[in-house]
Amino acid sequence: MDEKGMKRLMASHAYWAEQVKELRRRTSESLDNCTRVQPIQGSQGFPLCPMHDNCIENAYQEWKASDSPYDGGPSFEEVWGDMIEEGEVCIHCQRTRQLKKRRAEAGRRLGQVRSAITKAGRKFQEETTC
């Protein structure tokens, strides 16, 4: 790989690393704004802080409680969609799920760039040891 290609890989790495970092920050920020947050109750009925149930956790618990979620029951996406239609999911949690999907894609892209850098490094190492 030539110098221009390596510079392009380094720039891509910096870009995707920053995207992952920014999306992680925005996801956390969005989730913190959930309008349906309920404190999780401890064994004695006292709220456990700072943990809270948000819309995503509530959807997960509903999915988990459904009949055979792993054996042909409704998928999480179906439960999530039903809860959105019924107005049980705030806009912040919907945005959080979208941001998480974007972060996962950015993470995959970052992994691809790292793989390309590793491959180029191995090739460079082979050329210098021969």
- What are the residue ranges spanned by the domains of the chain? 36-89, 91-130
- What burial class does residue 102 get, using C-beta atoms within 10 Å of its C-beta: 0-12 exposed, 13-18 middle, 19+ buried? middle
pLDDT value of position 13: 97
Helix or strand holding residue 94 (H, E): helix 91-129
Give the pTM: 0.76
Write out the chain's pLDDT in tens, 130 residues. Answer: 788 999 999 999 999 999 999 999 999 999 989 887 765 555 565 555 555 588 999 899 888 888 766 777 888 999 999 999 999 999 999 999 999 999 999 999 999 999 999 999 999 888 888 6
Spatial separation of the C-alpha atoms in residues 49 and 43, rounded to whole Å = 13
pLDDT value of position 68: 62
Q: Beta 38-41 vs 47-53: how paired, if at all? A: antiparallel
Residue 68 DSSP one-character state: -
